[in-house]
Amino acid sequence: MLPRELVSTVQPTAPARPAEGLADPRQQALQRALAPQLGKALHGEVLTRLTDGSFVVKVADIPTRMLLPPGARVGADVPLTLVSVQPRPTFQIGTGNPVFSEAGPPLPEGADPAKAPLLMREGATAASVARATALLQAAAGGAAALPGGAEARNTTLSRTGQAIGGVLAAAAKAESPQTAALGRAPVVGAPTGDAAGIAQGLQQAVGKSGLFYESHVAEWAQGGRALSDLNAEPQQQAAREGQRPQANDPATAQFINLQLATQEQAQVAWQGNLWPAQPMRLELGREVENEGQGDGGGTEERAWHSRLRLNFPGLGEVDARLTLHGGALQLRVSAGDDSAALLRRNQASLAGALDAAGTPLAAFEVRATGSQDAP
C-alpha cells in the first residue's frame, strides 16, 4: 500500500549487515531511566552541540543525545514528549508538527561522534527513515518551537522525503489511530479445538493482512512467491476493483504508518474473528537478548512475546500473555474470578499437554480481574 513515489522498482534484497546494537548496557540504562516519563510532556535543555551535528539535551535531569531541527541552539528550551522507549527512546519535538527524534546516551569522554552514529549505520528501518524525514519536513516548514526559522525554511526535501512526510501528516489527521491489521474473514469457519487448524488459519490471516505486501511483491519478483498469494492481499484486491490508494487519504496513511511501526518494532497486531461472532485480538513481538555479555562469546537468543485477548460465552474475557524463551513457555492470564479458578485447577493438564508438545511450561500465573489480589 506504499505510494508509488516510495517504491520505484523492485530490486534484489541485499544481505543484512549488522546494525548498531540495541543491547548496549548504556542504552539499556537510558531506557530504564526514561521509562517513567513515557507519554509525558517534558522540557529539554540543550546543553551542547557535538561535531556531527547532534546535541546533548537534558530531559528530566537525564542527559541524552539526539538530533534536533536546524536552528537549535545551546541553552534553548525544547518542548518534548517521550512517545516510546523501545527499541530506542523516541521523542516528539514541539507540539505543532509530527517531528520525532531517537535518543541515545551521551558519548564517553573522548569518543568521536562521527564514529558513533545515533541512528543505525546499516540496515536502517523504514520507520527510522520516516522519522528522520519527518524531522526534516518540520525543519523545511520552520520549526516554530525552535529559533532559526529562516534557516529551516530554506531546507529542501527530495520527492521521497516529501512523500513520506505527507503520509505521516495524513495519518495524524485520522479520527482514531489504527493499531492493528483488521481481518476480513474468521480464522476458522466454526468453533473448534483443533490447535493446528487455528494456527494455520492465524498464519494465513496475518500473512495476507497486507502488512507485508511490499516484501511479498519482492519475493514474487524473485520467483519465491506465487501470484495467487499476492491476489489474496487487500492491496491486490483493491487494484482489481480499480481502486488506487491515495497516500494523503487518512485511512491509507494510517495503514502505511502501521506497516512502518510493524517493521521498526518487530511487532504485529491483528484483530478480527477467531470464528464467526467470536472476536479476538492477537499481538506478536520479538526481542533479541544477548546472553553472556562481557565474555566475548555470548550468543543471541530470541524471546517471543504474544498477547491474546478473547471474550468467550462461558469463560468471559480472557487476556493471555505468553513468552517463549529457550524453548519454554511462560504464561500469564487475566480472567474473571470463576474462570481464573477454573484455569488454576487445570494447570496440571495444561502443563502435561505442553510437555507432550515439546514446550515445557516454565511459569504459570493467573490473575482474577474481579479482585485486587494477585495469585
Q: Name the more confident of 47 and 51.
A: 47
Q: What is the pLDDT of residues 97-149, one digit of tens each?
A: 557 788 888 887 777 776 666 653 323 334 444 444 444 444 444 334 444 44
Q: Give me the pLDDT at residue 137, please.
A: 44
- End residue of a domain, out of 172, 200, 216: 172
In this structure, is residue 134 part of a structural domain?
A: yes
In this structure, is residue 250 part of a structural domain?
A: no
- Which residues touch 259 (CB under 8 Å, ≥6 apart)? 1, 2, 126, 211, 214
Out of 27-41, 65-79, 102-116, 228-242, least confident range:
102-116
In this structure, is residue 278 part of a structural domain?
A: no
**How many whole angstroms separate alpha carbon 202 and alpha carbon 196?**
10
Q: Name the more confident of 237 and 124.
A: 237
In this structure, is residue 259 part of a structural domain?
A: no
Query: Does residue 153 register a pLDDT over 90?
Result: no
Same-domain check for residues 168 and 24: yes
In this structure, is residue 290 part of a structural domain?
A: no
**How many whole angstroms separate alpha carbon 257 and alpha carbon 313?**
35
Dihedral sign computed on CA atoms, order 333, 337, 339, 340: positive
Q: Give me the pLDDT at residue 18, please.
A: 40
DSSP per-residue codes, 124-181: --HHHHHHHHHHHHHHHH--TTSS-HHHHHT----HHHHHHHHHHHHHHTSSS---SE
Query: Does residue 373 register a pLDDT over 90?
Result: no
- End residue of a domain, out of 143, 172, 201: 172
Q: What is the pLDDT of residues 308-324, one digit of tens each?
A: 999 988 888 999 999 99
Q: What is the pLDDT of residues 162-214, one digit of tens each?
A: 676 777 777 777 777 788 999 989 999 999 989 899 999 999 999 999 999 98
Beta strands in the chain (DSSP E): 41-49, 55-59, 62-66, 77-84, 90-93, 100-104, 181-182, 267-275, 278-290, 300-312, 316-325, 328-335, 361-368
Out of 92-101, 127-136, 250-259, 345-354, least confident range:
127-136
State which residues form the domain around 123: 20-172
Q: Give me the pLDDT at residue 117, please.
A: 61
- Which residues touch 306 (CB under 8 Å, ≥6 apart)? 282, 283, 284, 285, 321, 322, 323, 324
Number of domains in the chain: 2
In this structure, is residue 135 part of a structural domain?
A: yes
- According to DSSP, the residues that pair with 285 across neighbouring strands are 267, 305
Predicted structure pTM score: 0.56
In this structure, is residue 15 part of a structural domain?
A: no
- End residue of a domain, out of 172, 204, 236: 172
- Helix pair angle (250-265, 126-141), 10° resolution: 130
In this structure, is residue 289 part of a structural domain?
A: no
φ/ψ (deg, to 5) at 183: -80, 135
